[in-house]
Amino acid sequence: MHTPNARPKRSGAPIDYAGYVLIAPGYIVYFAFLFVPLLIGMYYSFTDYNFYAKPEFVGLHNYTRLLHDELFGRAVYNTFIYSLFSILPQMALGLLLAVLLNGKIAGRVFARASIYVPNVTSMVAVSMIWLWIYDPSLGILNRLLRTFGLDPVQWLYDPGTAMGAIIAMSIWKSLGYTMIVYLAGLQSIPSSLYEAARVDGASRIRQFFAITIPMLKPTTFFILVMSCINSFMVFEQVNILTNGGPLNSTTTIVHQIYLRGFQDFQMGYASAMAMVLFLITLLITILNFRLGNQGNDLDAD
Amino acid sequence: MRIKFGSASLSTVVLLLISLIMLFPFLLMIVTSLKTMGEIQSPTFSFIPKKWLFENYALAMSRGDWLRYFYNSFVVSAITVIFSLIFNSMAGYAFARLRFPGRNVLFFSVLIGIMVPPQTTMIPTFLMMKLFPFVGGNNWQGAGGFGFINSYMGLVLPFIAGSFGIFMCRQYFLNFPRALDEAAQIDGASIYRIFFQIYLPLSKPILATLAIFKATSTWNDYMWPLIMTNTEKMRTVQLGLTIFRSETTVEWNLLMAATTLVVLPLVLLFLAAQKYFVQGIVTTGLK
């Protein structure tokens, strides 16, 4: 890497057998709880397994059943909607806040901490607080609406608003993450670029679009990949805030896996869902890499 | 000059306004936790409690065995942190510094893990823990007992090594000056000695970062304890909160008091070690 005296590749170089010893404990745990479950899950997805009797091989039956499962289709749709409408605003707002906080403005340390605090708070705690905010009769949102003479909204109990309410909360929670990563990206942009632009008389807005955005491409790409993976796993806030309702308007893929697997004990069927989820995440990650790597290589160093 | 000063203070006002919006839900949580139920239900709303009921906190903690929940969360987080520090740093060091056949393949397989979130494997992982042979009353076929269900082992084991930890440590050790190893090798120190006596003492920043990353994710985890435990004795604080809420009538003041106490340890940790929280995010993804 950075060391100029990096050892040249020699075929006769001694082998550090200690390497295997040092890697073993961590790697065994990693392998046992990542690849083994992945393989077992793949196997279960081809079986009918209710947890009490032995798994019975059923071929592709679980997958064909998935194709006709309207509830699962709804869950896939909801998960996509959730991802799209939480990632985009979160990235735009995160970038905006990062640019704002990058200057030497008084109060930026406090602001940075305040924006980031929701992210260190558990999803359960955050959900409890927002349940209270969204409470139909006593919650502060509806109290506010009433003082303005507006009709109260059944936030989490109305199929039209429930997903939006969950998304709003999730954006609030993970905004700090996007902001911090963008801040790190901004700090790696050489200031000479801005100086040159200033000499050329480019406006701040022009600088933002001509320097900041292109230079942040790897950062944006990284955030996009991570946010996609994370948002496709959305479960905790759904399970706590709405339990998938009302009228399945907020049920998601992981929520369906949880219900089918741990409440109906249809382990085989739920495993097939998990496999589909895995494939979707993989596909989106590959797609992101394809789009993100056009023209420039991500790992510059 | 004047214009510049004016815009700078305008930015400060904007920043403070944003901070206030972001902190508002937490402020609401705290003021609610101090009110009486009567005040919460009254048609007239005041943000600041009329009477500050600090006894709400004691009352909230008496609903359920909260001492036990906090103890469980603390123990599970501590064990996870300790083991993940040892295992991940050892593997990270080997991947960064040692030369052995298969190293790159193994490392690549570690990177794959970033794309396999635990949610996609929760069912088989649960079954593995449940059917683990010779534990929790299981026979060699994994039948007859409960395996690692309702045990600290079950809550800890899957999380003591992982892609992020290994990757983070490797990136950190890659930037160590090689001269250190070479000097030690000339003195005849073994690889293990070099790692434990030279590398580890110099890696406090990355260990702190990893410890905080692990402590946060373990303390905050909800899904895994939800699946792995079903007794009150093994409940963690996050599960405790959800139980609170599922009771017939929600006593918002007590629920908010309990939430405040669950959130508090991590917020304090964050305020004390902000640098490492940020480091964790930045080193895992960006150089």
B95: CATH: 1.10.3720.10
As a whole number, the mean pLDDT across chain A is 89
> What pLDDT band is residue A239 in, cutting at 50, 70 and 90?
very high
User: Taking a C-beta distance cutoff of 8 angstroms, is the pair A51, B124 a contact?
Assistant: no
Q: What Å distances lie between residue B259 and B26, B114, B252, CA to CA? A: 10, 31, 10
Distance from CA of B121 to the nearest CA of A (A): 6
Beta-bridged to residue A57, according to DSSP, are A47
For the stretch B84-99, pLDDT in tens is: 999 999 999 999 999 9
> What pLDDT band is residue B169 in, cutting at 50, 70 and 90?
very high
User: Are A30 and B119 within 8 A, CB to CB?
Assistant: no
User: Are B29 and A132 within 8 A, CB to CB?
Assistant: yes
Give the start-end residues of each E strand in A110-230.
none
Within a domain: B9: no
Round to whole Å and give the CA distance between A199 and B198: 49
At residue A295, the pLDDT reads 45
- Cα A70 vs. chain centroid, distance in angstroms? 25
| Partner B contacted by A215 (CB < 8 A) | no
Distance from CA of A234 to the nearest CA of B (A): 9
Round to whole Å and give the CA distance between B18 and B20: 5
Residue A200: domain span: 18-292
**Mean pLDDT of the region A86-114:** 91
φ and ψ of A264, to 5 deg:
-100, -5
Round to whole Å and give the CA distance between A89 and A85: 7
> Is pLDDT above 90 for A117?
yes
- The vertex-A269 CA angle with A267 and A273, nearest 5°, equals 110
Distance from CA of B29 to the nearest CA of A (A): 6
Chain B positions touching A301 (Cβ under 8 A) are 287
Within a domain: A298: no
Q: Is A57 helix (H, G, I), strand (E, B) or coil?
A: strand
User: Are B123 and A122 within 8 A, CB to CB?
Assistant: no
Distance from CA of B50 to the nearest CA of A (A): 17
Within a domain: A7: no
Q: Which residues contact B242 (CB under 8 A, 6 or more apart)?
A: A124, A240, B222, B226
Distance from CA of A288 to the nearest CA of B (A): 12
**Mean pLDDT of the region A46-59:** 88
Q: Point out the residue among B22, B101, B128 whose CB comes nearest to the CB of A15.
A: B101
A276, closest residue in chain B (CA to CA): B120
Round to whole Å and give the CA distance between A237 and A288: 26
Segment (H or E) for A47? strand A47-48
Within a domain: A283: yes
> What pLDDT band is residue B61 in, cutting at 50, 70 and 90?
very high
At residue B3, the pLDDT reads 44
Round to whole Å and give the CA distance between B35 and B41: 10
Taking Cα atoms as reference points, which of B117, B90, B118, B94 lies closest to residue B107? B94
A225: domain CATH number is 1.10.3720.10
As a whole number, the mean pLDDT across chain B is 88
Within a domain: B211: yes
Residue B180: domain span: 56-285
Q: Point out the residue among B45, B86, B255 whose CB comes nearest to the CB of A128.
A: B255
Round to whole Å and give the CA distance between B162 and B110: 8
**Mean pLDDT of the region B246-254:** 80
Segment (H or E) for A178? helix A162-187
Within a domain: A6: no
User: Are B98 and A22 within 8 A, CB to CB?
Assistant: yes
> Is pLDDT above 80 for A27?
yes
Structural domains counted in chain B: 1
Q: Point out the residue among A15, A120, A258 whose CB comes nearest to the CB of B99.
A: A15
| Partner A contacted by B230 (CB < 8 A) | no
| Partner A contacted by B282 (CB < 8 A) | yes
ipTM of predicted assembly, 2 dp: 0.90
For the stretch A161-213, pLDDT in tens is: 999 999 999 999 999 999 999 998 998 888 888 889 989 888 888 999 999 99
| Partner B contacted by A213 (CB < 8 A) | no
Q: Point out the residue among B29, B125, B238 whose CB comes nearest to the CB of A124.
A: B238
For the stretch A245-292, pLDDT in tens is: 899 999 999 999 999 999 999 999 999 999 999 999 999 888 888 877
| Partner A contacted by B268 (CB < 8 A) | no
Q: A224: which 2 tokens?
A: 């996009």
Question: Tokens 């991940």 map to which residue?
Answer: B88
Round to whole Å and give the CA distance between A42 and A36: 10
DSSP 8-state secondary structure symbol assigned to residue A56: E
| Partner B contacted by A87 (CB < 8 A) | no
The least confident of A1-10, A73-82, A132-141 is: A1-10
Chain B positions touching A30 (Cβ under 8 A) are 110, 113, 161-163, 166
Within a domain: B187: yes
User: Are B25 and A118 within 8 A, CB to CB?
Assistant: yes
User: Are B22 and A235 within 8 A, CB to CB?
Assistant: no
Chain B positions touching A235 (Cβ under 8 A) are 119, 223
**Mean pLDDT of the region A226-231:** 91
Q: Is A48 helix (H, G, I), strand (E, B) or coil?
A: strand
Distance from CA of A51 to the nearest CA of B (A): 9
Strands A47-48 and A56-57: antiparallel
Structural domains counted in chain A: 1
Q: Which residues contact B43 (CB under 8 A, 6 or more apart)?
A: none
Within a domain: B203: yes
For the stretch A119-128, pLDDT in tens is: 999 999 999 9
> What pLDDT band is residue B248 in, cutting at 50, 70 and 90?
low
Within a domain: A112: yes
Chain B positions touching A36 (Cβ under 8 A) are 124, 128
Helices vs. strands in chain B: H and E counts, helices first: 16, 0
User: Are A132 and B28 within 8 A, CB to CB?
Assistant: yes
> Is pLDDT above 70 for B75?
yes
Q: A195: which 2 tokens?
A: 């100086």
Q: Point out the residue among A7, A181, A271 whose CB comes nearest to the CB of B285.
A: A181
